[in-house]
Amino acid sequence: MSNPFELRFRLLEMAQQYLQESMKRKEEFSYQMWELAKEQGEANMELYKSLQPENYSIHSIKKKAEELYSFVEERKDRGKTDAE
């Protein structure tokens, strides 16, 4: 069983991994859209800038970790209701 600090650390790791994978998918999509725009002759700097995904921050990692933890709490609370 993990102690509370290990649980928090794991949740932060999971949140960061989730956001990294999400960022990678968005970058791949942006690259594909940019290549398509180049083929169609519609590529310009304005489009390029609009295709760039927004970077995640420490705040977004913490927010995602809190979201993951709320799922744990929800399951724990649901178990209490079922047992009562």
**What is the CB neighbour count within 10 angstroms for residue 49?**
8
Q: Which pLDDT does position 73 carry in this prediction? A: 80
What is the longest distance spanned by two Cα atoms in the chain? 65
Task: Quote the distance between the C-alpha of residue 21 and its chain's center.
Answer: 7
Could you tell me the pTM of the whole model? 0.77
- Residues 50 and 4: beta-carbon distance below 8 Å: no
In this structure, the number of other CB atoms found within 10 A of the CB of residue 34 comes to 15
Give the residues of the chain that fall short of pLDDT 70. Answer: 1, 75-84
Supply 49's token pair. 């800038």
Number of domains in the chain: 1
Domain that holds residue 66: 4-83
pLDDT of residue 74: 80
Distance CA 62, CA 27 (A): 22
